[in-house]
Amino acid sequence: AEARRRQQSSDLPPQFDVRFGEDLSIRCVLLPAGQFLMGNQMGSGDETPLAQVRIEQPFYMGCTEVTNAQFRAVASLSHNSGHEGWRSIDWRGEGYDLDSPDQPAVRVSWHEAMQFCRKLSDETGLQITLPTEAQWEWACRAGTSTPYYFGTDVRLMDQHSWNRANAENCPHPVGQRAANAWGLHDMYGNAIEMVQDLSGPYPKMTAED
């Protein structure tokens, strides 16, 4: 309830659709500004957060992973964006269908993910990019300080993610598992999610954005 209250207290709408191509869109949710303790609290044995991070500006994030349909539509935009270098991507795998339009786009490089953001920015006039690692963790935690956004009981993980125990070694259509308090799905499991910057040890410091 507190997370929803903070989303709705902003002057910005709590949801926003990025529209592109032929009647396609990416539903985004507003993540308000705030601060949190950022660090490895998920099984390393060291439960002490290592950095106090302040997110100064609210931002929007897609409420699901980017789908095959969305990725293909942006990759096929024909206007001259000035960003070339898209290569063909083999999304076909053995044992399951990577071609399903509602499944997350996988087998995509970091550079292709950044190209996707640049091309979608050119198409829409919006500033679209991958989140920073701090933004991603703020988004995933959804205001919580527990090891998982749903608490401490790892037995609840199946309700919130496709993972090694229940996914049968393949991705699944996005948005089928429970969302966190911000309204974001698949923050755990299903597909690897990329960030702008590199992950690494956090200095013991206070950082902004």
- pLDDT tens for the chain, 209 residues: list them: 888 898 888 889 999 999 997 788 999 999 999 998 887 655 445 555 568 889 999 999 999 999 999 998 898 875 544 445 444 444 444 445 567 899 999 888 899 999 999 999 999 999 999 999 999 999 999 999 898 999 999 999 999 999 999 999 889 999 999 999 999 999 999 998 899 987 666 666 677 77
The CA-atom distances, in angstroms, between 209 and each of 19, 33, 131, 196, 201 are 27, 10, 11, 13, 17
**Cα gap 41→107, rounded to integer Å:** 28
Q: Which pTM does this prediction carry? A: 0.85
